[in-house]
Amino acid sequence: MDKLGYIPGDLVMTNGAPLGTEQDVVYRVTSSDPSKTLKLDDGTVMKGVVRLENLEGVEFGDKGYLFGDCCAWVKDIVPIPLTPAFLEKNGWKKEMYHDWRHYFPLERTLLYLSKGVDIDGAFTVCAGLSHIACISFVHQLQHLFFSLNINHEMEV
């Protein structure tokens, strides 16, 4: 992502580099600051910081447990890929005749995700018959719900 693509509430993982974090452990973003920069001695410029917290239910001794909030550079954040299993766990229904298509009932229409066949394999998002976006990661689905004013807690 060229710009900071994380907002409070996003579910993400890290590459294990930020102090106290572990790979393959899910954290929640509590804040972000895209203006934060740090120039290293070798000339590399680090941009964008997110603050992370443990998910509800995580306890002391669990892998990757944070003893408080943890800051991480955006380059160390690993987005969580969208999968059919994740969608079904979070209330999406598989269409009866199409394994590659899931729907989420809204008040006046259905939100559809269709597994793409394009280069990156992203999901195509449609509301009714209108194409809205293409997404690949959990935080992008969270942003979509936020923009549509849908309050939906997600679990991994």
| pLDDT at site 127 | 86
Structure tokens at 13: 């993982």
Digits of tens for pLDDT over the chain (156 positions)? 345 589 999 999 999 999 889 999 999 999 999 999 999 999 999 999 999 999 989 999 899 999 988 999 999 999 999 988 898 898 888 887 777 788 888 778 888 888 876 657 788 998 888 889 999 999 999 999 898 888 778 888
- Whole-model pTM? 0.84
Instruction: Find out whether 23 and 16 touch, Cβ atoms under 8 Å.
Output: yes
Q: Which residues of 6-29 are buried (b: 16+ CB within 10 A; e: fewer)?
A: beeebbbbbeeebeebbeebbbbb
| pLDDT at site 2 | 41
DSSP code of residue 134? E
Structure tokens at 149: 């004013």
CA dist 124 and 132 (Å) reads 8
Tens digits of residue pLDDT in 1-29: 345 589 999 999 999 999 889 999 999 99
107: nearest Cα among 154, 149, 147:
149
In degrees and rounded to multiples of 5, residue 108 shows phi and psi of: -120, 0
Matching residue, tokens 């917290």: 53
Contacts of 17 (CB under 8 A, 6+ apart): 72, 76
Q: Give the domain ranges of the chain.
A: 11-78, 84-147
Q: What H or E segment, with its residue span, contains residue 84?
A: helix 84-89
Instruction: Find out whether 102 and 95 touch, Cβ atoms under 8 Å.
Output: yes
| pLDDT at site 117 | 61
Instruction: Find out whether 144 and 135 touch, Cβ atoms under 8 Å.
Output: yes
| pLDDT at site 8 | 94
In degrees and rounded to multiples of 5, residue 148 shows phi and psi of: -90, 5
